[in-house]
A and B are shown apart, each in its own frame.
Chain A
Amino acid sequence: MLSNSEKHLQVRGTEINYYFICKTKLWLFSHNIQMEQESESVSMGKQLHKKSYGREKKDFTIDNLISVDFIRRGETLELHEVKKSSKMEDAHRYQLLYYMYYLKKEKGIQNIIGFIDYPKLRKKEKVELTESEEKSLEGIIEGIGQIVHGTISKPEKKKICRKCAYYEFCWV
């Protein structure tokens, strides 16, 4: 068993996101039962990502776990996540916070700030990693571990199910 200080983070950014959206989806995704390739909203998101911020260097992928939409480097390191709507605010915010946390813990990078960009809403939101956010992230990471290593949880029908790529899988 690795002690906590030696243990490397093994959680993917998407998993943080799904933790807030649906535990069943998180379990399936983490066991590589993925459906996103068929989701219209995922491909719309990809289009949005392709079409916006053309001047930036995009897709900054690290350790195959996190993939930041784009970065800007100056005195601080700016991480940017592009999202199409602000409906899933917590999911988006913690996904980005996790990226910041990851770069800080695993790569020793200080001075990071994050932005969630909503090009369609012409809005951007600044995100800062505070100590209390770090605490919550640690709880989330542990929670993800428990879900992923446990048995698959029964889906709960919510309003958002209708738009999910896993809808037919869950409810057939």
Chain B
Amino acid sequence: MKKNYYLMSDGLLKRKENTLYFVNKDGKKPIPINKIYSIYAYGSLTFSSQSVHLLAKEGIPIHFFNYYGFYDGSFYPRETLLSGDLLVKQVEHYLNPGKRLWIAKKFIEGAAGNMEKVLGYYHVQNGIGKTVKDLTLSSNVTEAMNVEARMRSEYYSKMDEILPDGFKMEGRSRRPPENMVNALISFGNSMVYSTVISEIYNTQLNPTISYLHEPFERRYSLALDLSEMFKPILVDRLIFYMVNKRMLTEDDFEQKVDYCILNDGGRKKFIKEYDERLKKTIKHRELNRKVSYRRLIRLEAYKLIKHILGTQEYKPFVMWW
């Protein structure tokens, strides 16, 4: 089973024959190439071109995060899974306003469904279901985005009902996050975003052509689209879990007057739990086999491919358990 490697400290990534080594102040650690799914680099990483050759050959992406833990970019190896037919159809669904809007709305519905699940788990009454009905009135993507924004602010305003004292969110703040919960959300969301990039890399979908977000918004805007559905489940639920269980405390954050971020210790804790969650499995109803949360993202990409090819209408993922 391949796994994600999270490099938290500063160090050097080098290759000797066909093995990668991560060298830091504590010594040299081999990373077996066949075991790597993706690498997440949080420290400052020095690497040789030889190691990049090997990662490219094996199709392994590295995601880079800056000092604050925000996503900077990825080493996205040369695409080997290319399908001209699929690309043409992916673009067709973007260029046709009706087809694009249809997919964009599905992504919002999926996100809404998962947000309701998260709040429902904590028995928090909310108006998300009602707000999302307004999607039927949206006749273009901008209008759909407005519905999404209303639904999201409704969602974030309800979060404080779940969070303990001292950990209230008091509205979403980004770039920079102003308090601990906002710091966790930003950090977690950038992890989901990179996880989705890795999944898209392993399909024939082009990561830059998206439906809900504009393709020029970020380099891999399709990853933004697919992240929407998974953020409530992978990030928000994890935050509630860790904060309510006192697994994270004020000591895990670096708090300044104008911003708040996770410190090294906090990141380590959060990443460990996040990774556990990705590996956690559920029995899939349609497939009748066990799949991991990470795999659910891939399945979402498959469903999108099938929709684009015209074999099966896309139904967004909403947690059913």
Contact = CB atoms under 8 A, between A and B. Distances in A.
Given A33-B204, A171-B286, A172-B287, A151 B310 contact: yes
B79 to A, nearest CB: 11
Contact of B86 (A31, A151, A168, A171): A31
Contacts of A151: 310
A32 B287 contact: no
B83 interface: yes
B299 interface: yes
Nearest to A30: B85
Interface string B176-207: 00000000000000000000000000101000
B156 to A, nearest CB: 31
B305 A172 contact: no
A33 B310 contact: no
Contacts of B284: 172
B85 A168 contact: no
A85 interface: no
A136 B310 CA distance: 32
Contact of B311 (A34, A37, A38, A154): A154
A9 interface: no
Interface in A150-172: 151-152, 154, 167-169, 171-172
Interface string B69-108: 0000000000011111110000000000000000000000
B218 interface: no
B303 A32 contact: no
B5 interface: no
Nearest to B309: A152
Interface residues of B, number: 24
A172 B299 contact: yes
Interface size, A (range): 10 to 19
Contact of B302 (A31, A32, A37, A169): A169
Given A169-B305, A172-B287, A32 B299 contact: no
Nearest to B300: A172
B267 to A, nearest CB: 30
B286 A32 contact: no
B82 to A, nearest CB: 6
B311 A152 contact: yes
Contacts of B81: 32, 34, 37
B88 to A, nearest CB: 11
A169 B86 contact: no
Contacts of B306: 169
A172 B83 CA distance: 21
Nearest to A155: B311
A171 B284 CA distance: 11
A88 B119 CA distance: 51
Contact of B287 (A31, A34, A38, A168): A168
B85 A172 contact: no
Given A32-B83, A32-B84, A172 B309 contact: no
Contacts of B204: 32-34
B279 to A, nearest CB: 17
A172 B310 contact: no
A168 B302 contact: yes
Residue of A37, A167, A171 with most partner-chain B CB within 10 A: A171
A168 B299 contact: yes
B83 A171 contact: no
A37 B85 CA distance: 20
Contacts of B82: 32
6 contacts: A31-B86, A151-B310, A169-B302, A169-B306, A172-B302, A172-B303
Interface of A: 31-34, 37-38, 151-152, 154, 167-169, 171-172
The 9 closest A-B CB pairs, nearest first, are A32-B83, A31-B85, A169-B302, A172-B299, A33-B83, A33-B204, A152-B311, A172-B302, A171-B287
Given A152-B310, A168-B291, A169-B306, 12 more contacts: A32-B83, A32-B204, A33-B85, A33-B305, A34-B204, A37-B81, A167-B287, A169-B305, A171-B286, A172-B286, A172-B299, A172-B303
